[in-house]
Amino acid sequence: MTTLVTGANGFVGRALCRRLADSGAAVRAGSRVAHAADSGVDSVVTGDLSGQTDWTSVLEGIDTVVHLAARVHVMREHSRDPLALFRQVNVVGTRQLAQQAVEAGVRRFVYVSSIKVNGEGTHEGPFSEADRPDPQDAYALSKWETEQVLRQLEAEAGIEVVVVRPPLVYGPGVKGNFFSLLRAVRIGVPLPFGRCQNQRSLVGLDNLVDLLVQCTVQPAAAGETFLVSDGEDLSTPELLRRIAAALGRPVRLLPIPPGWLRSAARLLGQDRMYDRLCESLQIDIGKARQVLGWSPVQSVDAELARTASWYLDARANGKQDEDRT
């Protein structure tokens, strides 16, 4: 069995290819541009993800596809019509890949979606696979529309589709907001989240990769959607304390009332940033436990320790301490 991983040069893609290869699986790593793959991984250039991409040669001999490539959510969107761009890449591009996968005889298509399909936050209990989808921005809507396209193709052509919706992923090589938190804690920036009492589900890279591997091989995964997390929810202050412990640094938390933070965020046009840092987003992973017999393979503290070690090593090796979004 050969598995094609799209977006193989990304944060999750590299780790997944490495894990599959280490397990003895045959792996084809597809990326938009050429990159140096790990030993034992067949690297191919796929070009841009679009409705015109020809996947014929890439899909030759492939049994399973894990589709990570996407136009990702960005904090500072400059397009006048972001939904059109998200649809062109995430919906139309994925439809092209999946249709050609059917023609190539691919057995299973694992699609990495987003917890944002469920919504932006939880107020009356954790998200589950049974919830009515509530995508609230262009990125989330494109992910939900893509899921529906794949389910339709599954019904028409018989390809096995598995959907995984992760929350924020962290681990060695992380970028974006989590990288910014690492940097802020390391340099001792006072952070105004001391009175936040939210609960957030995250997923460490090892835990996400382990579930994706299970989704490629377990018969019970076919046709299912799974939510994934570390299985332990943290408030923002607790997350920052644990990051600080992993870095060997103190953390400076200011006891600012959340209502003040929300007002300031509104004035600055940063409502979504406030929601991500101060509101709750909890995930129930009971279905993955029950259907797949899966449990997180790493604790939050173990994943944070690996992340902190990578971050400190990168700085010691002379890499710039900047948010590389």
* 117 secondary structure, DSSP code: G
CA angle (165, 168, 173) in 5-degree steps: 120
274 is an active site residue: no
Paired tokens of 311: 């971050």
Contacts 24+ apart (CB under 8 A), 264-272: 272/120, 272/137
Provide the residue type at 109 as one letter.
Answer: F
Q: SS3 of 112, please?
A: strand
Residues 143/113, Cβ–Cβ less than 8 Å: yes
Taken in order 170, 175, 178, 183, the sign of the CA dihedral is: positive
Catalytic residue among 139, 170, 274, 311: 139
> Which residue, among 173, 276, 300, 151, has the nearest Cα to 225 in the 3D structure?
151
Q: Give CA–CA dist 94/61, Å, rounded.
A: 19
Provide the residue type at 321 as one letter.
Answer: D
Q: How many residues does the chain have?
A: 325
> Which residue, among 48, 54, 10, 56, has the nearest Cα to 29 in the 3D structure?
10
Active site residue ranges? 139
